[in-house]
Structure 1
Amino acid sequence: MTEIRYAIIGSGMMGQEHIRNIGLINGARVTAVCDPDDGMRNQAAVLAGHGCKAFTTYGELMAAGLCDALVIAAPNHLHHQVLLDVLPADLPILVEKPLCTTLPDCEEILAMAAQRAAPVWVAMEYRYMPPVERLLQATSLGETGPVRMISIREHRFPFLKKVGDWNRFNEKTGGTMVEKCCHFFDLMRLIAKAEPIRVYASGAADVNFRDEHHDGRTPDILDNGFVIVDFDNGVRGMLELCMFAEGSQWQEAISVIGDSAKAEALVPGPARFSPDGAERASEFVLSPRTSKVEQRETIEVDHTILAAGDHHGSTFFQHQKFFAMVRDGGVPEVTLEDGLKSVRIGLAAEHSARTGEVVVL
């Protein structure tokens, strides 16, 4: 295959980030986009460049036969139906997180996908942030010693404006702990090398969108919270989320503490939210117990890659691996089962935050 042709289903903010990053890969080209919104669809077609066809529906797009791989970046609540409709085509698929917004929907997709040959990769971009990859390398090489605790802090900006304001309500997002935080629960599972057995959360909608009303309803998505996750091998994970803290130097601070050392990945927010609009470097920090001397590394990322999206280069590095899988064969690094399990933890956290109950998985 000399060129891999991509079709993008859902051409909003994230769909356009995918288009920019695919455009950086030699041998990859976006040949078709679709979106029911005229503005998003036209922007995406222009961004993709000469020869890209634009469609109002993904049914029309699929019928045109213009692609070798699909990227699904439609709103969360549409993933289930889109996947049901496109899985029979047996094309390689990259589907944005969360896989679906309910467990039954995720389970139905897994059952249906088991009957096909082509792979489905769930887009967990945060695995591919360079400082996070350095953190994962440190834990896998034993630099921390056996992992005991995982702490993830995200202090960031509120949810952005989306077409139709679909991201303001739990019914369409799955809830903040699913929509936003499935990334982090996926990382916890990956680092712990274990499965969760218990989830406890405390959270609320305190600050963001309190003055908004949509069809007479006030947004109900959480904008802050804490989540504790206990794993079956004794590792404990904690998430601290605040979505009205965009003044922070580090948007994400991910730490892993083992018997021998603490390792941290420190990730700045997108350049457009920095005071001067400039990109900022990320860092990796290793703090051994024996020397008590912090080892700090600056993680440099090409500015062209950083400028292609809001996720510190991770969308590009994920696409590199997806492209290689499509071109050379292989299996997804992030499976449908990974997608389902991250949604399960997120839904448990949502339930716990709203009821005060500890959820046993």
Structure 2
Amino acid sequence: MTEESKTNNNYYTSFFKSKHLAEKDKYLFSTPQAKYKFNVIGAGMIGQEHIKVTMLEGRATINGIFDLDENSLNNTKQMFQQEFPDYDLKVYDTLENACQDPEVDGLIICTPNFTHLDIVKEAIKSSKHILVEKPMATTLKDAFEMKQLAEEYDSVFQIGLQYRYKPIYSEAIHEVMERQAVGDVKNISIMEHRVPFLDKVNQWNKFSDYSGGTLVEKCCHYFDLLNLFAQSKPKKVYATGDRDVNFRDFHYEGEDSDIIDNAMVTINYENGIKASFNLCMFSPMFYEEVTLCGDKGRLKAYENEDFLPVDRPSTHLEVLSGENGVAKIGNPCYPKIIQESGHHGATYYEHKYFVDNIDGNTKSTATADEGFWSIVVGVAADQSIKTGEVIDISEILEEIQVKGR
């Protein structure tokens, strides 16, 4: 067995007991030699997910953390000490020190959305590899500015649109874009039904000024997927939506929540593909569904977590091709330890490909340009809900003087 083939012995040790072995007797269970060190900027719930996945993937370790919130820092320090007792964790006193530490190779930015651009401006001074959580910014203007910064950046600059790597979407991408199992795609639909937004530090995700609004904050994942499947730029967007159930009477430090909890979005692409997105955030489950129809078949896939004691698969994918080819029905999934590590395993592969790209082993990950276009659709949909009009994408791009798109 080569060193390369056993790089992820953290995966092995998650399934088998090895604490009884002396270090000299470990081979499959030996502690992997990490090649890189990362710092995490933002030590909340998502920061902890990035920490755990980095350590599980094994080719990098978490060197330190920075956060302005003491509760988040203390909680993450405690978690790290309990789960990774053989490692030390630095706690930085300033953002500049966290970014500029010469021992560190990469920075993972997972602070509240409205802070991303300012933090990136500091982070790029370091020339380190950067992974920025979605959405990259809360406004079109800020997103375009970050896109420009990324285009001039020599190191890896990756956007955290990791839903591409969820099992159902990863397989759908393979079937539709590589195997071309449905032929030429003509229309696409995605659905998300889920519980309300969870609590955050200072409840920033309940206010559009800080989150960008529901369609930017959460739904950028799905707009990224729609853009990816369409392989085209959005041309026109029409949406309806409202705040019908969630946070209607929510107040925090004198502010009233203003985020929507449901929407129907229609997108026309420049190449003629039509797409739709259905959102409901007051459902008692987590359910996602994607359907793609082409001139040679149809693909449907879903992911379901309904908290019921019913023994059934949590994922499903079917490709129906009629006389054009083989039909396929299955349950896409990853190994349990990966699937349960965060966002159904997508965060793990986001990190795996981040490290691959650092190694020069180029993998397809969300670029700043793709992150920008996911926000374009979200901003257009939000504007359509407010005005009741069909939004011409060229017009909103003109507002921020985007040229040569």
What TM-score comes out, normalization by structure 1 length? 0.93
In structure 2, C-alpha distance between the alignment counterparts of 1:62 and 1:247, rounded to whole Å: 38
- 1:219 has 2:252 as partner: no
Query: Is the contact between residue 186 and residue 273 of structure 2 (CA under 8 Å) also seen in structure 1?
Result: yes
In structure 2, C-alpha distance between the alignment counterparts of 1:322 and 1:279, rounded to whole Å: 33
What is the aligned counterpart of 2:374 among 331, 342, 346?
A: 342
Aligned to 1:47: 79
Query: Which of 1 and 2 has greater Rg?
Result: 2
SS of the residue corresponding to residue 248 of structure 2 reads: coil
In structure 1, C-alpha distance between the alignment counterparts of 2:260 and 2:98, rounded to whole Å: 35
In structure 2, C-alpha distance between the alignment counterparts of 1:245 and 1:26, rounded to whole Å: 36
Query: Is the contact between residue 70 and residue 93 of structure 1 (CA under 8 Å) also seen in structure 2?
Result: yes
Aligned to 1:253: 289
Q: Residue 66 and residue 52 in structure 1: after superposition, are their counterparts in 2 closer, same or farther (change >3 A)? A: farther
In structure 1, C-alpha distance between the alignment counterparts of 2:331 and 2:382, rounded to whole Å: 35
Q: Residue 53 and residue 278 in structure 1: after superposition, are their counterparts in 2 closer, same or farther (change >3 A)? A: farther
Query: Is the contact between residue 20 and residue 47 of structure 1 (CA under 8 Å) also seen in structure 2?
Result: no
Q: Residue 291 and residue 27 in structure 1: after superposition, are their counterparts in 2 closer, same or farther (change >3 A)? A: closer
- 1:125 has 2:138 as partner: no
Q: Residue 186 and residue 96 in structure 1: after superposition, are their counterparts in 2 closer, same or farther (change >3 A)? A: same
| Aligned pairs for 1:92-171 within 5 A | 92-140=129-177, 141-171=179-209
What is the aligned counterpart of 1:288 among 309, 316, 321?
A: 321
2:348 maps to amino acid = F
Query: Is the contact between residue 281 and residue 299 of structure 1 (CA under 8 Å) also seen in structure 2?
Result: no
In structure 1, C-alpha distance between the alignment counterparts of 2:101 and 2:350, rounded to whole Å: 27
SS of the residue corresponding to residue 239 of structure 2 reads: strand
Aligned to 2:124: 87
Gaps of 5+ in 2: 1-32, 394-405
What is the aligned counterpart of 1:263 among 280, 290, 299?
A: 299
Aligned to 1:192: 230
Q: CA deviation at 1:104?
A: 1.5
SS of the residue corresponding to residue 38 of structure 2 reads: strand
Q: CA deviation at 1:320?
A: 0.7
Aligned to 2:337: 304
Q: Residue 154 and residue 26 in structure 1: after superposition, are their counterparts in 2 closer, same or farther (change >3 A)? A: same
Runs of 4+ in structure 1 over 6 Å off? 291-294
In structure 1, C-alpha distance between the alignment counterparts of 2:50 and 2:91, rounded to whole Å: 16
In structure 1, C-alpha distance between the alignment counterparts of 2:181 and 2:284, rounded to whole Å: 32
Q: Residue 143 and residue 329 in structure 1: after superposition, are their counterparts in 2 closer, same or farther (change >3 A)? A: closer
What is the aligned counterpart of 1:13 among 24, 31, 45?
A: 45
Q: CA deviation at 1:288?
A: 2.3
Q: Residue 45 and residue 276 in structure 1: after superposition, are their counterparts in 2 closer, same or farther (change >3 A)? A: farther
Q: CA deviation at 1:219?
A: 0.8
Q: Residue 325 and residue 277 in structure 1: after superposition, are their counterparts in 2 closer, same or farther (change >3 A)? A: farther
In structure 2, C-alpha distance between the alignment counterparts of 1:52 and 1:242, rounded to whole Å: 39
In structure 2, C-alpha distance between the alignment counterparts of 1:298 and 1:139, rounded to whole Å: 17
Query: Is the contact between residue 125 and residue 318 of structure 1 (CA under 8 Å) also seen in structure 2?
Result: yes
In structure 1, C-alpha distance between the alignment counterparts of 2:311 and 2:143, rounded to whole Å: 39
Q: CA RMSD in A?
A: 2.1
SS of the residue corresponding to residue 357 of structure 1 reads: coil
In structure 1, C-alpha distance between the alignment counterparts of 2:311 and 2:322, rounded to whole Å: 35
Query: Is the contact between residue 32 and residue 66 of structure 1 (CA under 8 Å) also seen in structure 2?
Result: no
Query: Is the contact between residue 42 and residue 54 of structure 1 (CA under 8 Å) also seen in structure 2?
Result: no
| Deviation string, structure 1 residues 161-215 (Cα, Å, up to 9, x no partner) | 0000000011011111100111111111111111100000000011011231113
Aligned pairs, number: 355
Q: CA deviation at 1:59?
A: 2.0
Aligned to 2:21: none
Q: CA deviation at 1:51?
A: 1.0
| Deviation string, structure 1 residues 24-64 (Cα, Å, up to 9, x no partner) | 11221001111111121122234343211112432231243
Which stretch of the first structure deviates more once superposed, 11-20 or 195-204? 11-20
| Higher RCO structure, 1 or 2 (CA under 8 Å, sep 6+) | 1
Query: Is the contact between residue 100 and residue 126 of structure 2 (CA under 8 Å) also seen in structure 1?
Result: no
Gaps of 5+ in 1: none
Query: Is the contact between residue 313 and residue 331 of structure 2 (CA under 8 Å) also seen in structure 1?
Result: no
Percent identity of equivalent pairs: 33
What is the aligned counterpart of 1:238 among 271, 276, 279?
A: 276
1:19 maps to amino acid = I
In structure 2, C-alpha distance between the alignment counterparts of 1:72 and 1:342, rounded to whole Å: 18
In structure 2, C-alpha distance between the alignment counterparts of 1:27 and 1:331, rounded to whole Å: 16
Query: Is the contact between residue 99 and residue 106 of structure 1 (CA under 8 Å) also seen in structure 2?
Result: yes
What TM-score comes out, normalization by structure 2 length? 0.83
